[in-house]
Structure 1
Amino acid sequence: EKLVKNNEFGYWMRTGNKSANDATGERYNEVFSKNEMIKEKRIISHARNESSIDSVIGKNGKKYSISDALEKKIDWIQIDIGFLSEQEKNTVLDLCKYAVVNGSHTVMGEIMGEKAKPIIGIPIHDENTNNIKWADEKKLGILVSKTEQVVGAISKIKENYEIFEENLSEFSKNFVPNGAENSAKIARQILEEKR
């Protein structure tokens, strides 16, 4: 948390089963190799409970442990985390400028609904495309189909941040966390009352 405070960064989430997670990681790495990404700070959550993933890449290109980076006050460009605790994830989502996702509606709901942050969606599966397309149409995020489009999407979000913020503020006012779960509970209660 100390490393990320007072920094503008994107939160890049790798989620899904192993193949979806790996495919997402490959796409993210393609984006990171672009010249335009040299100064774009990012935190990558790998959704894998492997502490060996935890590392910091400095602007100097060197890799550090998180404790070394803190101690040496490294000016970082990338932080990789195997698994964020709920508190760490909340802090990162509160402080990030935008989040990059592969389209899981649960993750999107949390980011856009609870945290009111714009998303950039690079779908892995067709069903995720519709989730991201919906967010794009509502100006809550941007759908990209190719990694080459991500840099442009980041610029578009930054240039139009107030518009995204307004739309997200309105969306998050009406967002119900665990909506499906709550609906199922209500339906169950109604059915039980009818018996």
Structure 2
Amino acid sequence: MIEIDVVSDFICPWCHIGVARLGRILDTMDPALYRLRFLPFELNPGMPAEGVERRRYRIWKFGSWEISQHLDRQTLAAAQPDGIVIHYERIERTPNTRLAHRLSRAAWAEGCQRALVEGLFSAYFVDGRDIGAREALRDIALASGMTAAAVDAVLDGQGEAESTADDLLKVAETGLDGVPFYIIGGRSHSGALPVERLRSLLTAAVS
């Protein structure tokens, strides 16, 4: 069985693109051939818990709204050939993603991590939902197949708080400073790789 780890953050458009491309390939493979796991990364580790209005945050981060829009157009151009949908005009806030990462870790234990991860990316980039808000996270998590008890342990308590912090620290200690990042069969690959490149890597790892 090939082990596939994907390091990503839920507000990263390149991660949305990369995960969608990977998912389409995995859908054509026998699930018995691979084990998929998502690991956390925070693009904005200092983000307030309530998040920040997106336009204001992007101007602060990139220097101007025009530069932010230019970067958005680059990701839209990359997503379009693969039919990957992004609606930036619907996104009002840049959220803190720590709770979402904690849910992802809990979903791994429940066997529905991929469904949750894809649900989070879709909620943010397609629907423009605030995935830092507990109400939205609860809806997405339950729809992915997580049990109410597991969701409540994270959203109403400290479930997976320490383990997620440990995972983030381990990733940081590797020196990784950009996502998405794949580890396929023990080999590392950076960036939102094209579909055919991902397919060739997976084919080589399985054979």
TM-score interval for Structure 1 and Structure 2 normalised by the shorter chain: under 0.3
TM-score, normalised on structure 2? 0.25
Compare CA radii of gyration and give the structure with the larger one. Answer: 1
TM-score, normalised on structure 1? 0.26
Higher relative contact order (CA 8 A, sep 6+): 2
Which structure's residues are more often helix, by fraction? 2
